[in-house]
């Protein structure tokens, strides 16, 4: 039975108190926490011991890493656990995908808490690889490894009283497990109806006014700051008054940004804005554990020894991370050992021809719509465009940054869905990805048909991945696990992603902060206003195809 003692400035978050003391750990649990008064000479200048950070809503798949590799990177930043929605792999591989995530997550010392995906497929307006009915969701919720009902994206179904939707919510209530929300822009009576159905959180608020409306109805608000969607600045000022009802999350975080930092960065930014550090730490360390009944210790005698040591409470530089009493990271170095999993996938489409990417004028209606992508947001705008027309074929308008976007069904051979998109900024070439929320078909943006074909076929050859091609370079990062994740070392994947991201920005001209992450959301139909699925151009406000 391993045992050790560690001394430092102990942070009692709820009591808003700091005292010098000693934590004794035996067999992975905290036996005692004792004050040392007076502290030894120089002792009060030592590190600060506090509960670990929690990401209160994240899709591990979006890191392009399997859970065990995600953990390897996250522990360096003081993250000891996550509320993880396996929605992405479930849309590709169904129940087997959820089981894969749970099994691989158990291979390492990290506290993954998975949910039962509520919306597989997310809508009937796209082709997914699996379906989870209410009976499947009920079966998952009976599992002790499932802690909540994942984000209920089908808010129209909640508002209209959809029977399947309410069966899933009822199952969560039956087993005493929380229901996560997803209702971007929902306000007023509709928001109340959604919340009173039993939905307890939302990570999709993009204005303070929206978040405040939901807070007043008893909903807990997650401040999201991911690789694409960034709502920290819009919402953080609410924390001073509403810190007991708020948490931090990343939602979707690519491997390069995970290598740089995690929830610790949000805490540092919040403290820099003058918010009381105890309030910040309650949102980051305490609230998720209590809301989701997570099996994570909160630095109390008898708790599992899940805690971190930081240099100070301003920069929150993480010196050590302990999980179940095991040192898993120290001074910026992860001690988590890689566990290469067996591959799991669902990919069955043939390589495409250049003719598949011709934008025939006859394909479009009288008005040609374009998706306007917004940097740092998942929402998009709907606009009318006037694409260049040559010989009954539309071309990209590079000068005005109106480019071609396509979605290809990855589960079977089918026609290519086509539209236009603004704000990707590419001057030449194309990028493609099989990470395309929520059904994870192949999505690509490019300036010409040949580049689109090459980028898409690179992804198909790899049975999933992200790719970029320009006049002289082709690059691809293969994602053989469900077409979503690599089975390689997390830091190697982060380096490979950094290289392809750099190519798209510096060599191809994209001005987006995270072009591949933004690309992945252009097929996300449940976020307004205009998106493209493998079945056509979809209006998220009217919930119907417009092309």
* Cβ contact 381:374 at 8 Å: yes
Containing 169, the helix (H) or strand (E) segment is helix 163-174
* Cβ contact 113:294 at 8 Å: yes
Q: Is pLDDT of 427 > 80?
A: yes
Report the chain's mean pLDDT, rounded to a whole number: 95
Q: Is pLDDT of 459 > 90?
A: yes
Spans of all domains in the chain: 53-286, 354-545
Average pLDDT over residues 173-187: 96
Mode of pairing for the β-strands spanning 201-202 and 220-224: parallel
The pLDDT, as a whole number, for residue 1 is 64
* Cβ contact 25:325 at 8 Å: yes
Report percent pLDDT > 70 for the chain.
99
Average pLDDT over residues 42-46: 64
* Cβ contact 152:180 at 8 Å: yes
The pLDDT, as a whole number, for residue 258 is 96
Q: What is the pLDDT of residues 251-273, one digit of tens each?
A: 999 999 999 999 999 999 999 99
Q: Which two tokens stand for residue 397?
A: 């308008």
Q: Which two tokens stand for residue 101?
A: 């995530």
Q: What is the pLDDT of residues 501-544, one digit of tens each?
A: 999 999 999 999 999 999 999 999 988 999 999 999 999 888 88
Mode of pairing for the β-strands spanning 220-224 and 246-249: parallel
Number of H helices, E strands in the chain: 17, 30
Q: Span 53-286: which CATH code?
A: 3.20.20.140
What lies within 8 Å, CB to CB, of 147 at 6+ separation is: 83, 113, 114, 115, 177, 178, 292, 293, 294
Give the dihedral of Cα atoms 97, 101, 102, 106; nearest 10 deg.
Answer: 150
Report percent pLDDT > 90 for the chain.
90
* Omega of the bond leading into 326 within 30 degrees of 0 (cis): no
Q: Is pLDDT of 46 > 80?
A: no
What lies within 8 Å, CB to CB, of 541 at 6+ separation is: 528, 529
The pLDDT, as a whole number, for residue 42 is 64
Q: How confident is the model at residue 397 (pLDDT cuts 50, 70, 90)?
A: very high
Burial grade of 232 (CB within 10 A; 0-12, 13-18, 19 or more): middle
Alpha-carbon gap, residue 365 to 369, rounded angstroms: 9
Q: Which of 517, 499, 491 is nearest to 73 (CA)?
A: 491
Alpha-carbon gap, residue 369 to 407, rounded angstroms: 16
For 322, how many CA atoms within 13 A lie in the half-sphere containing its CB?
29
Q: What is the pLDDT of residues 105-163, one digit of tens each?
A: 999 999 999 999 999 998 899 999 999 999 999 999 999 999 999 999 998 899 999 99
What phi, psi does 502 have (nearest 5°)? -65, -40
Model-level pTM? 0.94
Q: What is the pLDDT of residues 280-334, one digit of tens each?
A: 999 999 999 999 999 999 999 999 999 999 999 999 999 999 999 999 999 999 9
Q: What's the distance, CA 516 to chain centroid?
A: 13
Average pLDDT over residues 23-47: 87
40 compared with 245, residue with greater pLDDT: 245
DSSP 378: S
């Amino acid at each position: 039975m391993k045992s050790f003692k560690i001394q430092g400035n102990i942070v009692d978050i709820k009591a808003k108190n700091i005292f010098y003391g000693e934590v004794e750990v035996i067999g992975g649990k905290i036996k005692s926490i004792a004050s040392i008064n007076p502290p030894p000479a120089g002792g009060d200048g030592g590190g600060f011991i506090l509960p670990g950070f929690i990401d209160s809503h994240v899709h591990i798949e979006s890191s392009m890493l399997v859970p065990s590799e995600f953990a390897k990177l996250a522990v360096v930043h003081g993250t000891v656990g996550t509320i993880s929605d396996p929605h992405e792999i479930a849309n590709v591989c169904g129940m087997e995908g959820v089981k894969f995530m749970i099994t691989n997550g158990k291979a390492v010392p990290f506290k993954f808490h998975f949910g039962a995906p509520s919306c597989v497929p997310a809508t009937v307006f796209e082709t997914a690889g699996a379906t989870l009915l209410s009976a499947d969701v009920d079966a998952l919720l009976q599992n002790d490894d499932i802690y909540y009902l994942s984000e209920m994206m089908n808010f129209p179904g909640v508002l209209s009283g959809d029977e399947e939707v309410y069966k899933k919510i009822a199952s969560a209530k039956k087993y005493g497990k929380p229901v996560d929300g997803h209702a971007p822009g929902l306000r007023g009576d509709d928001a109340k109806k959604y919340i009173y159905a039993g939905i307890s959180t939302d990570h999709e608020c993009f204005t303070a006014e929206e978040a405040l409306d939901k807070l007043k109805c008893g909903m807990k608000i997650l401040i999201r700051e991911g690789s694409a969607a960034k709502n920290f600045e819009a919402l953080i000022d609410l924390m001073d008054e509403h810190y007991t009802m708020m948490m931090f999350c990343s939602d979707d975080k690519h491997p390069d940004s995970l290598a740089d930092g995690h929830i610790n960065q949000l805490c540092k930014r919040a403290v820099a804005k003058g918010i009381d550090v105890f309030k910040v730490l309650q949102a980051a360390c305490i609230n998720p554990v209590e809301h989701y009944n997570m099996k994570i210790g909160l630095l109390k005698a008898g708790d599992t020894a899940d805690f971190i040591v930081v240099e100070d409470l301003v920069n929150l530089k993480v010196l050590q991370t302990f999980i179940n009493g095991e040192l898993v990271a120290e001074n910026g170095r992860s001690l988590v050992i890689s566990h290469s999993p067996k591959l799991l996938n669902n990919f069955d489409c043939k390589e495409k021809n250049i003719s598949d990417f011709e934008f025939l004028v006859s394909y479009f209606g009288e008005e040609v719509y374009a998706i306007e992508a917004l940097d740092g947001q998942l929402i998009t705008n709907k606009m009318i465009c006037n694409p260049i027309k040559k010989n009954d074929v539309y071309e990209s308008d590079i000068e005005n940054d109106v480019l071609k976007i396509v979605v290809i069904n990855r589960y079977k051979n089918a026609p290519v869905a086509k539209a236009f998109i603004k704000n990707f900024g590419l001057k030449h070439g194309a990028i493609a990805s099989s990470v395309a929320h929520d059904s994870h078909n192949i999505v690509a943006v490019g300036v010409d048909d040949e580049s689109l074909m090459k980028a898409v076929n690179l992804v198909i050859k790899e049975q999933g991945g992200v790719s970029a091609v320009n006049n002289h370079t082709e690059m691809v990062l293969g994602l053989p696990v469900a077409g979503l994740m690599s089975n390689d070392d997390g830091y190697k994947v982060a380096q490979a992603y950094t290289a392809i991201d750099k190519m798209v920005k510096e060599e191809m001209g994209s001005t987006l902060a995270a072009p591949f992450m933004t690309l992945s959301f252009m097929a996300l139909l449940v976020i307004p206003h205009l998106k493209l699925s493998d079945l056509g151009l979809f209006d998220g406000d009217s919930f119907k195809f417009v092309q």
